[in-house]
Amino acid sequence: MSIREDIATARRRDPAARSAFEVWLLYSGLHAIWWYRFAHRLWRIRVYLAARLVSQLARFLFGVEIHPGAQIGRRFFIDHGMGVVIGETAIVGDDVMMYHGVTLGGTSLQHVKRHPTVGDRVVIGAGATLLGPITIGDDSIVGAGAVVVRDAPPKSLLVGVPAVARAQARTSAADWQI
**pLDDT computed for residue 172 by the predictor:** 58
Q: 46 by DSSP, 3-state: which?
A: coil
**pLDDT computed for residue 178 by the predictor:** 45
Residues of the chain with pLDDT under 50: 178
**pLDDT computed for residue 174 by the predictor:** 55
Cβ-based neighbours of 1, under 8 Å, separated by 6 or more: 37, 74
Tell me the C-alpha distance between 129 and 90, whole Å: 13
Structural domains in the chain, sorted by start? 3-175 (2.160.10.10)
Question: Could you tell me the CA-to-CA distances from 28 to 32, 100, 147, 162, 165 in Å, in that order?
Answer: 6, 11, 25, 30, 31
DSSP class of residue 75 equals T
State the angle between helix axes of 28-44 and 48-62 in degrees (0 to 180), rounded to the nearest 10. Answer: 170
Tell me the C-alpha distance between 2 and 149, whole Å: 33
